[in-house]
Amino acid sequence: GENVEQHPSTLSVQEGDSAVIKCTYSDSASNYFPWYKQELGKRPQLIIDIRSNVGEKKDQRIAVTLNKTAKHFSLHITETQPEDSAVYFCAAGRMDSSYKLIFGSGTRLLVRP
Amino acid sequence: NAGVTQTPKFRVLKTGQSMTLLCAQDMNHEYMYWYRQDPGMGLRLIHYSVGEGTTAKGEVPDGYNVSRLKKQNFLLGLESAAPSQTSVYFCASSLTGYSNQPQHFGDGTRLSIL
């Protein structure tokens, strides 16, 4: 079946450093790739998304890159801050009649002050 | 707008009991989803609906039933709860599948089956 692999499962960085989380997807028809941030006990919240017609998207300190040939996409957070500490989930899916998302298993990011 | 509202927030059941989780959205979204979240496994789709009166199976539908009698509500039912269904359940909604709009999540329901 379709799946999304996410690495690493945990990531600890010093405040101010960069963090990179990587995902690989299996369904070559996927055309939509969102990233969600989930703080402890809270709902997942969309932080950035990318569609298959672009290779990179930036929003202030966060960016996402997509390599459709390799079926890889990555989240980059620069100048990390303690409030970036959370669990991050990638997902892959199709913007179509069903719009189902397959989620990765999550990365717990800890930013040390 | 309240967005996506889930009730209840917490529930403890005994094995074999039944219950219904309610999801309500006030954004006039067509699509609604039920996920479960287990430690180390991310979010897995249980069932989803692409419109009032329609439902479809997701990745892990066994042991659950759903209904979408009204556009704004999506109900998830457990007919005979099992300890393996202990999880955090999230409901989400989106405008459609083609709208370039993300899925919006509720606050979750933490369900424990003893």
- pLDDT value at residue B19: 94
- Reference A30, options A90, A109, A106; nearest CA is A90
Q: What is the DSSP letter of A82?
A: G
CA distance B44 to B102: 17
**pLDDT digit string (tens) for B70-79?**
999 999 999 9
Distance, in Å, from the CA atom of A35 to the CA atom of A6, rounded to the nearest integer, reads: 11
From the list B58, B102, B106, the residue facing A49 with the nearest CB is B102
B-chain CB neighbours of A97 within 8 Å are 50, 97-98
Give the model confidence (pLDDT) of B31-67 as tens digits: 999 999 998 778 999 999 999 999 999 999 999 999 9
Which residues in A lie closer than 8 A to residue B5 (C-beta atoms)? none
* Res. A92: pLDDT tops 70: yes
Asked whether A64 and A33 are in contact (CB, 8 A), the reply is yes
CB contact under 8 A, B105 and A51: no
Q: Are the C-beta atoms of B50 and A98 separated by less than 8 Å? A: yes
Split at pLDDT 50, 70, 90, the class of B1 is low
Closest CA–CA distance from residue B71 to any residue of chain A (Å): 16
Cβ pair A101:B45 closer than 8 A? yes
B19 touches chain A (CB under 8 A): no
Instruction: Grade residue A105 by pLDDT with cuts at 50, 70 and 90.
Output: very high
Q: What integer is the mean pLDDT of A84-112?
A: 91
- Are B59 and A1 a contacting pair at CB < 8 A? yes
The rounded distance, in Å, linking the Cα atoms of A84 and A13 is 11
- Alpha-carbon distance of A16 to A104, in angstroms, equals 26
Task: Please write the tens of the pLDDT for every residue from B20-34.
Answer: 999 999 999 999 999
